[in-house]
């Protein structure tokens, strides 16, 4: 017995219709791998975090193979401030020194990763927290950014410190988990070839993992609805050529450019399609995968 109010026949029929409409999409994705990058506003909202965990648990039970990748920028910044570790910036980019990368690993691989694992467990799923270090899953090289001097116009290399980019991705651990009931939750902390520890952009990490696994979808949960047209209306689907054209004509601008470029990089790595969607919408993952129109912008090759 529960205290929930009894539902009418009309409500029950409506719920049954929703489930029947979702069935074709469940069959489409059966035994397919979906990588979901979880971050932004949703990570700091308990209700959204719970809804996300329910979504991931449900799609695993429905026969999909979800892999969760998470970031944690705001939490890292808060811990750096708490420990009074000053960040250095060059050309607007944070230089990640040894003290900073130690904090990054502590926050990402520790507090955040285990919180997501626990929330999925509370939703009825079984999850395990891992990093790029586990099983030497993702080996990184040091990222070097080229910047142009605004006065001389000359390019120079900017050393970002312990910021890495994926060089080798090994999927053995994830392939074993794929055959089990366990959902991997990955923090983008990776080893270098010389024993270093690197912090990797979570979007880049998710794209690399998705490509190595041959994922059918990589979903980037963000704080925005998706790609908007000039009238600020959501564009539900874009080809690679259309996305590049919208960047060139200024329709896609500002912070949306790196998001779209990350999607295109994921396609280059072998992912079937990438999606930018709003993580602030409850059950955004289910809406994207199991409804006709999805919940964001689908980008295909």
Residue 267 CA: distances (Å) to CA of 131, 215, 240, 274: 23, 10, 9, 7
Q: Where are the beta strands (DSSP E) in 252-295?
A: 273-278
- What is the pLDDT at residue 73? 85
Note whether 136 and 116 are within 8 A (CB).
no
Residue ranges of the domains in the chain?
Answer: 28-300
CATH match of 28-300 with 3.40.50.1010:
no
User: Binning pLDDT at 50, 70 and 90, where does residue 1 land?
Assistant: very low
- What is the pLDDT at residue 22? 63
Q: What tokens were used for 140?
A: 């990184």
Q: What tokens were used for 118?
A: 């626990």
Residue 13 predicted with pLDDT over 70: no
**Mean pLDDT confidence for 282-292:** 86
Determine the distance from the C-alpha atom of residue 163 to the mean position of all C-alpha atoms in its chain, rounded to a whole number.
18
Residue 94 predicted with pLDDT over 80: no
- What is the pLDDT at residue 224? 86
pLDDT digits (tens, 9 = 90+) for 50-90: 999 999 999 999 899 999 999 988 889 899 999 999 887 76
Residue 8 predicted with pLDDT over 70: no
- What is the pLDDT at residue 3? 57
- What is the pLDDT at residue 90? 67
């Amino acid at each position: 017995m529960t205290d929930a109010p009894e539902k009418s026949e009309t409500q029950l029929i409506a719920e049954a219709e929703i489930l029947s409409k979702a069935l074709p999409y469940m069959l489409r994705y059966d035994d397919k791998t979906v990588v979901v990058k979880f971050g932004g506003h949703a990570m700091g909202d308990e209700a959204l975090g719970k809804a996300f965990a329910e979504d991931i648990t449900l799609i695993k039970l429905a026969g999909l193979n979800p892999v969760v990748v998470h970031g944690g920028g705001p939490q890292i910044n808060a811990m750096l401030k708490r420990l009074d570790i000053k960040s250095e910036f060059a050309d607007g980019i944070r230089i990640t020194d040894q003290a900073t990368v130690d904090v990054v690993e502590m926050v990402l691989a520790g507090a955040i990763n285990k919180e997501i694992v626990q929330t999925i467990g509370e939703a009825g799923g079984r999850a395990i927290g891992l990093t790029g270090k586990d099983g030497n899953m993702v080996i990184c090289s040091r990222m070097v950014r080229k910047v142009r001097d605004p006065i001389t116009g000359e390019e120079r290399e900017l050393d970002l410190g312990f910021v890495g980019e994926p060089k080798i991705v090994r999927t053995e651990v994830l392939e074993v988990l794929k055959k089990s009931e366990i959902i991997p939750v990955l923090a983008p902390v990776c080893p270098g070839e010389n024993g270093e520890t690197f912090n990797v952009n979570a979007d880049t990490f998710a794209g690399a993992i998705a490509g190595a696994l041959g994922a059918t979808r990589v979903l980037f949960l963000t704080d925005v609805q998706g790609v908007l047209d000039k009238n600020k209306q959501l564009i539900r689907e874009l080809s690679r050529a259309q996305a590049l054209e919208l960047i060139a004509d200024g329709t896609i601008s500002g912070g949306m450019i790196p998001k779209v470029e990350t999607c295109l990089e994921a396609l280059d790595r072998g992912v079937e399609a990438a999606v930018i969607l709003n993580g602030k919408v409850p059950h955004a993952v289910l809406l994207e995968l199991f409804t006709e129109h999805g919940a964001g912008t689908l980008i295909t090759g």
